[in-house]
Structure 1
Amino acid sequence: MKITVIGGTGLIGSQLVTRLREGGHTVVPASLSTGVDLLTGEGLDAAVEGAETVVNVTNSPTFDAASPDFFRTSMGRLLTAGERAGVRHQVILSIVGVDQVPQLDYYRAKTLQEELLRNGPTAYSIVRATQFFEFMDAVMSWTSDEQTVRLPGTRVQPIATADVVAALADVATAEPLDGTVDVAGPDVFPLDEIGRLTLAARQDRRAVVTDGEAGMFAAVDGDVLIAGPGARIAPTSYKEWLAAGSR
Structure 2
Amino acid sequence: MQDILNEIKAVGSVIGSYIHINGVAEIHSDLPKIFLKKIKEVGLSVDRVIKVNESTRMQANNIELTYDEATILIRPIDIDASLITFCETKANKKLVNMTTGMLANELRDAVVAIRKGGTTKSAAQKPAPVTQPVQPPVQQAPPEPVQTATIDVNKILHGGPLAKNLQAFQDALAMAIGPISDMVMKDTVTSWARAGECSTARLPNLVNMLCKEIDDSSLENEFRQAVANHMN
Structure with higher strand content: 1
| TM-score normalized with structure 2 length | 0.24
Structure with higher helix content: 2
* Bigger CA radius of gyration: 2
